[in-house]
Structure 1
């Protein structure tokens, strides 16, 4: 393309831009009105959306590692002459699964039963509190058709199960519609994220009441800690319970053999028959063997008890749950500016392009 053609095209674009600018200036009164309408809509929308408060809790959990021969259990074994073969290996579940645990249905169902304090004289369960949370007015309008359809279905359907105590049977979870909605709401508003490099876990809770959000966040952290601790110590506790039972059995067996030996020696003390000596030696050997077994089980029991304590993970709460003072999310000013800008742009687009296209379309009909 030649230089003259380029210059001519640039002049045409400049003329077009100037023409557009003049047309925009000419419609400035309409733009003022559109701005006012946009601001009013922005105010209505900002007031209709309930305020939400976000609480973040940061904790640094101990990751599962192979601690065979180390720690309390290893120290106990070294003193008692035993080994740490009980519960060796890396944990199958550790803090890296925190996000999956927090979003699991059983975890959230237990959370629904916790008590929250809305104010000094008002205490309720989290499930009841969620029913009182408000929604934008347009969500009710959008949901009206669905509510009507569900109402018609209920007339012809069997009555739903509402007994919360029977939500789980034979490993299968059976929830009502309201429970499913509450669980889905909690999955969206209660999240846990983990930094794989540092193992730092961040628990985030978003609710409309700042105090309730802080209480729920603190409860989620404590329940998460208990869940992981119970899992990691369950095997050691089972081993410990088994050894305690075995210890009592071996102790009782040793006491009975010791009693038999003592009674036999007392009743045959003055006899020097070879058969008496043989029987006495046999009972003494049985007693010694029973004591050795009893002593070994006692040592293993001490190691198992130490193992239970060793398996408990350590959680360092870096940032505790703090009641937020300011609401999170988009502020009212942003809504007002956004809708005001959108109203101006829509008006300009309609006057420059949309109105002419609509006039041509009607003329062709």
Structure 2
């Protein structure tokens, strides 16, 4: 028992100095920070000045958001009215159309794709004053401004590009050529990437509401381009979903046109024969008349059937065409969405204070250690 007590006392005697040492170290760090409070304050002021300069150097950006609610996809075959019309034409209405291969979760990939981006190059936009109308391609290359330090960091790349264009002399030809998604020029690839970064699409998993956001430095350009992106996306989805039905309708139209032409020709042959053989009682002539009359009736029945099938095909196209409800329309933004000047200011001050604290706590000690080491070496 005596040994146990002595061990406990010994353990306690070992633990107490560690706790005291840890407390002394924390107090020492706090003392260093208090003694260096002027340095911390000075660095905080420097950080605030840097934050203000950075915040006011970054151009303002305006974001326009459009929200669309797509119609639910009907995968249960034809509806009641269309099914009745199909039954009259002798078409089975019980087959399912199958699941839609393009869901709302794929809309962001569609909008960010290269073909979709280069399709927006020639869209005409107007600035906020309404005085200048240019294409999106020219706006992104000529009207977008950047912070002042970007001109310094991009000097080497601009110099190399200028030398390359001087020897190649192909810039004018590249500006006039129509963009080809299969083979883009470096400038076209950069514009497409910049456009894709400024256009975003999000789809809510529960409600399937699609949010289309466009960020530009001009609020009018942002609103106009958001409208265009929404319309192009709707056209793409409608074109995809109705592609098969439209091809079926075109084929039904072709068959109906051929059947109508055949009916008109059979009708004309029968009418001409009757006009030329009035009053003739020969049996052979009457047999020929009956044959032409039967051909006319058959041609009419075929024409009537194909006409019904054509109507069913047209109704099917209308049936499967999706409808998008605009939950939130495009409006010209009044306030910029970024940069957040307060967030930049707070971030710069915080980083400056952290750097100053590290210097006060450890920087002077490191310098003293290096100085002493040099003195010993000397």
TM-score normalised by L of structure 2? 0.86
**Are the structure 2 counterparts of residues 69 and 343 from structure 1 closer, same or farther at C-alpha, using a change threshold of 3 Å?**
closer
> Which structure 2 segments of 5+ residues have no match?
1-9
Match of 2:179 among 153, 167, 170: 167
SS of 2:336's equivalent? coil
**Are the structure 2 counterparts of residues 91 and 23 from structure 1 closer, same or farther at C-alpha, using a change threshold of 3 Å?**
closer
Give the C-alpha shift of residue 284 in structure 1.
1.8
Give the C-alpha shift of residue 357 in structure 1.
1.5
> How well do the aligned residues superpose, as a CA RMSD in angstroms?
2.5
SS of 2:120's equivalent? helix
**Are the structure 2 counterparts of residues 350 and 78 from structure 1 closer, same or farther at C-alpha, using a change threshold of 3 Å?**
same
Greater Cα offset, 215-224 or 96-105: 96-105
Report the equivalent of 2:373. Answer: 364
Contact 1:189 1:206 in 2 (8 A): yes
SS of 2:281's equivalent? coil
Q: Does 1:149 align with 2:149?
A: no
Q: Counterparts of 1:353 and 1:95 in 2: how far apart (Å)?
A: 54
Q: Counterparts of 1:85 and 1:274 in 2: how far apart (Å)?
A: 50
Give the C-alpha shift of residue 92 in structure 1.
4.0
Report the equivalent of 2:134. Answer: 124
Give the C-alpha shift of residue 156 in structure 1.
4.6
Give the C-alpha shift of residue 205 in structure 1.
1.5
Contact 2:114 2:192 in 1 (8 A): yes
Match of 2:281 among 272, 289, 312: 272
> Deviation string for 1:97-141 (max 9, x for gaps)?
311211111211121211212122222222222221111222222
Greater Cα offset, 191-200 or 114-123: 191-200
Give the C-alpha shift of residue 274 in structure 1.
2.5
Aligned 1:32-43 pairs, distance under 5 A: 32-43=41-52
Give the C-alpha shift of residue 81 in structure 1.
4.8
Q: How many residues align?
A: 362
Contact 1:103 1:190 in 2 (8 A): yes
Report the equivalent of 1:136. Answer: 147
Give the C-alpha shift of residue 239 in structure 1.
2.4
Report the equivalent of 2:68. Answer: 59
Displaced runs of 4+ in structure 1, greater than 6 A?
none
> Deviation string for 1:138-192 (max 9, x for gaps)?
2222222222333344455462541454323xxx533222221111011112111
Aligned 1:1-365 pairs, distance under 5 A: 2-70=11-79, 73-83=82-92, 88-118=97-127, 119-131=129-141, 132-157=143-168, 159-160=170-171, 161-168=173-180, 173-329=182-338, 331-365=340-374
**Are the structure 2 counterparts of residues 85 and 296 from structure 1 closer, same or farther at C-alpha, using a change threshold of 3 Å?**
farther
Q: Counterparts of 2:62 and 2:283 in 1: how far apart (Å)?
A: 90
**Are the structure 2 counterparts of residues 344 and 255 from structure 1 closer, same or farther at C-alpha, using a change threshold of 3 Å?**
closer
Give the C-alpha shift of residue 86 in structure 1.
10
Q: Counterparts of 1:198 and 1:284 in 2: how far apart (Å)?
A: 61
TM-score normalised by L of structure 1? 0.89
Q: Counterparts of 1:87 and 1:23 in 2: how far apart (Å)?
A: 77
